[in-house]
Structure 1
Amino acid sequence: MTILHFFLAIALGAVIGIEREYEFQKRKIKDFGGIRTFVLLASFGAFIGHISNVLVGFDIIITVGFISVIALIVAGYVIVSNKTGNTGITSEISALICFLLGIFVMKGYITFSVIVAIVTATVLAFKPQLHGFAKKIESEELYASLKFAIISLVVLPLLPNISYALTDLPILNDLINSFPKAAAILSEIAVFNPFKIWLMVVFITGISYVGYILIKNIGADKGIGLTGFLGGLVSSTAVTSSLSLESKRLKKIVKPFVAGVMIASSTMFLRVLFEVLVINKSLLKYLILPIGTMALAGFSSVLFIYLSEKKQKKVKKKVDFDSPFALIPAIKFGLFFAFVLFIAKFLQIILGNSGLYLAGLLSGLADVDAITISMASLSLAGDISAKAAVTTITIAVCSNTLVKGGIAYLFGGKEYGKWIISIFGIILAVGLSVLLFV
């Protein structure tokens, strides 16, 4: 096993070394090390790690080896920078990583070492793309990224993972207890979990953030179809609104805009399935048919449109989205999510499952993410049945689809609006039929 570990260390060093050697030859420059240097550094790290394993009390050799490699790298950096004027330390840091990988492999951290080697080589190889990405970043986006890091890595771990009812809040306890019947009901609705609510904020803003980055760097201007798909990751309603207004301006172009809206909406169906998979995967087997069938119907309509319009005029359209992440909208979503949780549970206690369905209908008018995650969470906790959760989510999706149909009909071109209403009608009929009869 020791021999295999040793050869793995050499292989990982070679992966990074080959990338460095290729870069040096491609740019015809001289820099610190090459493939042989990186392989030898990984071998040296493996040798040091092996000695510390077999000789009891010899862990000091790792420190000695580390200092020696640092001295070697610093000396090499001084010589190379004086000769070439290159002050970058990318190769030097990569060399140090190679040495440490050799040690980690011999210590048994195989998976970690492989991941680090692959990530390091990837970062080195994608230098032009990373630099290009950095040049495109605006100050607002940088601040947005930092805000996202704060809410996900700083705020989230500090929040208590405990579910509270309104009666648990000291500021409301006396007031609620003055109404015994209301207090009895409200005490059963322990759905306010700060950690879980904030986790949903992070989850949803994360999806929006990724969608925004894709749109900015891949470019929504490559076509309405790409706009629809990438926009559907962020907001299919925003895509519908934007393309509807454009369809009224460019009345001669209808089907490409219809296809863009259908792609965005079908992507939204897939997004709902993904959210359920992450929160409560046991519901997926019930939702895959109604929601999956609606997605399939939507994408099928897109295929039909493109087949009937092979020579359609290519139209480029940039959909206007807000900042990739803003704290106030995130907090509003968190409050809305908590409100949906409360209303859903309250209506379920008062009206039974029919109360949940009403909550799904009303929530879907504005957003599908909150009700989807709420139902998945309540079902996971055992507060509602899987069937009730699935039905409520499907109702919310249908409600949201009706809203987008209304937007298209009211704000889009006449022919465009008729196409949207017709296709959405088919999609809804298919989804509800599967839900009711399958």
Structure 2
Amino acid sequence: MNEVPLQLVEAPLEEPVVRIALAGALGMFLGLEREWSQKAAGIRTFSLISLLAAVFTILVVESDIGESLLILGGLLVIVQGVLLAVKGLLGEPDASEAGLSLTTSVSMLVAYGVGALVAAGFIVEGVTVAVLSSLLLVLKRELHEFAWGLSREEMRSTTEFAILAFVIYPLLPPEYPLDLGATTLDLEPQVIWLMVVAVAGIGIVNYAIVSSYGGRGIAVTGFFGGLASSTAVVGTMLDHVRQRPAAASYAVAAILLANAAMAARNLAIAVGFTIGSGSPILFEAVVPLGAVIVLAFVIAGLTADWRQSGEMELESPFSLKNALGFGAVFFGVLVFGSLAETWFGTLGFYATAVASGFVSSAGATTSAVVLYRGGELAAAEATIAILLATVSSIIVKAMLAATSSNQRFRRQIAIYSAVLLVGGAVASVIFVI
């Protein structure tokens, strides 16, 4: 009984006539936007191109005809596209209109590729290419506005992030044994680098959100700013309090939310990077870090008037120097933490986690997760290390806030930071230790 529905779903796609029809439909879908934009090639042209690719592909697959027929069809589409592009360049005085002719020419070749994919049996791939291509055509104005609105710094940062995520990451080996003399540390370079990229990616998303909505609420400023750099939030609020002493309660709330964001980021790393790792998920970190997050939100909600707003400008969405610095801190914590654990036991790694938390709690968190994934730390030990790094990060922000000349601001930050630390400590004692 269970086999009949499966056959009904799969059998039609195995028929060449069904794949030809699907190829024509996808070509029509691709040509819809070009027709709507009143270009020379529209629904009929694109549909015919996809049908041509499907016919040639089926002839190559199902008969003895060589692949030269498929290549010839592709060359004909390229020649047709080139002629159309040249006509557009010569006949359109507007550079943007000429660019659209080039886009139409490339889209014709994409339609040919979609038809070939579907006819060859790559149904999901062909549909995906068609949908993404159509989306790019429809979002022309939005994409252009986005690209033209980027500053030089934003463009450089985006390019650097792309290199880290899509060039360096695939080149790294999955595993690499590092001989430290006293012990051998089994590193996972791809996992380590993926964590670096993930933290940087959070920063980019945060930059976009704060740039768009930062002036509409201090919650956005504090929480999303804290995802990228909680220290930046403290520095901004110090300046805000200096200029407007009456806004101290709002600045306190922003720093509390930055602590909540920092704890949420560490929790996401602890849980997210243990899913599918072969080791149990670090659920032990949920309650203690969750306590810090909840307390920070509750105190911020009770102490600030949310009708007020505050802005925070981030210097850059992503910095290669900062990313490499994070990587260096993370790698150093990993190596020296492993050595400290070998020499002094688990207490040595705890001390390293506290020290590294003053620089980057995310680095200490990722180090603990990697050691836990490798079986060098137990779940409770990894969780305690993460909590110690989180504690030291909260203390750093309190120390920075203590440099303010506003006594009320200093006192509130000190008191509420202590509340967060006590709450996290109580949760740790009850649920972890």
For normalisation by structure 2, the TM-score amounts to 0.83
Q: In structure 2, what is the equivalent of residue 175 of structure 1?
A: none
Shift of 1:66: 0.8
**Hey, what's the Cα distance between the residues in 1 that align with 2:62 and 2:188?**
50
CA deviations over 1:368-391 (Å, ceiling 9, x no partner): 111111110011111111110011
Greater shift, 70-79 or 148-157, is seen at 148-157
Q: In structure 1, what is the equivalent of residue 141 of structure 2?
A: 128
Q: Name the CA shift for 1:229/1:423 in 2 (closer, same or farther; >3 Å).
A: same
Q: In structure 2, what is the equivalent of residue 178 of structure 1?
A: none
Q: Does 1:61 align with 2:69?
A: yes
Q: In structure 2, what is the equivalent of residue 9 of structure 1?
A: 23
> Which residue identity is paired with 1:401?
I
Counterpart pick for 1:289 among 275, 281, 287: 287
**Hey, what's the Cα distance between the residues in 2 that align with 1:421 and 1:105?**
64
Counterpart pick for 1:70 among 56, 65, 78: 78
Shift of 1:366: 1.9
Q: In structure 2, what is the equivalent of residue 212 of structure 1?
A: 207
Length, aligned pairs only: 407
Greater shift, 409-418 or 113-122, is seen at 409-418
What pairs up with 1:38-437 in 2 under 5 angstroms?
Answer: 38-85=46-93, 86-88=97-99, 89-158=102-171, 161-167=175-181, 186=182, 188-190=183-185, 198-216=193-211, 218=212, 220-281=214-275, 282-305=280-303, 309=305, 312-315=307-310, 317-321=311-315, 324-327=318-321, 329-411=322-404, 413-437=406-430
**Hey, what's the Cα distance between the residues in 2 that align with 1:109 and 1:305?**
58
Q: Is the 8 A contact 1:211 1:233 kept in 2?
A: yes
- Secondary structure in 2 aligned to 1:254? helix
Q: In structure 2, what is the equivalent of residue 171 of structure 1?
A: none
**Hey, what's the Cα distance between the residues in 2 that align with 1:68 and 1:297?**
66
Q: Is the 8 A contact 1:31 1:80 kept in 2?
A: no
Shift of 1:394: 1.0
- Secondary structure in 2 aligned to 1:56? coil
> Which residue identity is paired with 1:12?
L
> Which residue identity is paired with 1:292?
G
Q: Name the CA shift for 1:91/1:362 in 2 (closer, same or farther; >3 Å).
A: same
> Which residue identity is paired with 2:286?
I
- Secondary structure in 1 aligned to 2:69? helix
Q: Name the CA shift for 1:90/1:332 in 2 (closer, same or farther; >3 Å).
A: same
Shift of 1:289: 1.9
**Hey, what's the Cα distance between the residues in 2 that align with 1:297 and 1:145?**
35
For normalisation by structure 1, the TM-score amounts to 0.82
- Secondary structure in 1 aligned to 2:98? coil
Q: Name the CA shift for 1:100/1:157 in 2 (closer, same or farther; >3 Å).
A: closer
Q: Percent identity?
A: 27
**Hey, what's the Cα distance between the residues in 2 that align with 1:38 and 1:84?**
22
- Secondary structure in 2 aligned to 1:280? coil
**Hey, what's the Cα distance between the residues in 2 that align with 1:195 and 1:349?**
24
Q: Is the 8 A contact 2:215 2:309 kept in 1?
A: no
- Secondary structure in 2 aligned to 1:164? strand
**Hey, what's the Cα distance between the residues in 2 that align with 1:14 and 1:126?**
18
Q: Is the 8 A contact 1:245 1:412 kept in 2?
A: no
**Hey, what's the Cα distance between the residues in 2 that align with 1:259 and 1:320?**
19
**Hey, what's the Cα distance between the residues in 2 that align with 1:138 and 1:402?**
35
> Which residue identity is paired with 1:211?
N
CA deviations over 1:301-322 (Å, ceiling 9, x no partner): 344456xx35x3333x233435
Shift of 1:84: 4.1
Q: Is the 8 A contact 1:191 1:342 kept in 2?
A: no
Shift of 1:249: 1.9
**Hey, what's the Cα distance between the residues in 2 that align with 1:159 and 1:40?**
44
- Secondary structure in 2 aligned to 1:288? helix
Q: Is the 8 A contact 1:189 1:342 kept in 2?
A: no
Q: Is the 8 A contact 1:45 1:103 kept in 2?
A: yes
Q: Is the 8 A contact 2:253 2:303 kept in 1?
A: yes
- Secondary structure in 2 aligned to 1:87? helix
| Runs of 5+ consecutive residues of structure 1 not aligned to the other structure | 25-29, 168-185
Q: Name the CA shift for 1:62/1:326 in 2 (closer, same or farther; >3 Å).
A: same
Shift of 1:197: 5.2
> Which residue identity is paired with 1:436?
V
CA deviations over 1:147-184 (Å, ceiling 9, x no partner): 334444444555554222244xxxxxxxxxxxxxxxxx
> Which residue identity is paired with 1:430?
G
Q: In structure 2, what is the equivalent of residue 37 of structure 1?
A: 45
- Secondary structure in 2 aligned to 1:229? helix
Q: Name the CA shift for 1:388/1:73 in 2 (closer, same or farther; >3 Å).
A: same
Q: Is the 8 A contact 1:41 1:99 kept in 2?
A: yes
Q: Is the 8 A contact 1:336 1:370 kept in 2?
A: yes
**Hey, what's the Cα distance between the residues in 1 that align with 2:402 and 2:273?**
34
Q: Is the 8 A contact 1:239 1:319 kept in 2?
A: no
Shift of 1:248: 2.8
Q: Is the 8 A contact 1:247 1:412 kept in 2?
A: no
CA deviations over 1:280-317 (Å, ceiling 9, x no partner): 233432222221332233233344456xx35x3333x2
Shift of 1:31: 1.9
Q: Name the CA shift for 1:115/1:288 in 2 (closer, same or farther; >3 Å).
A: farther
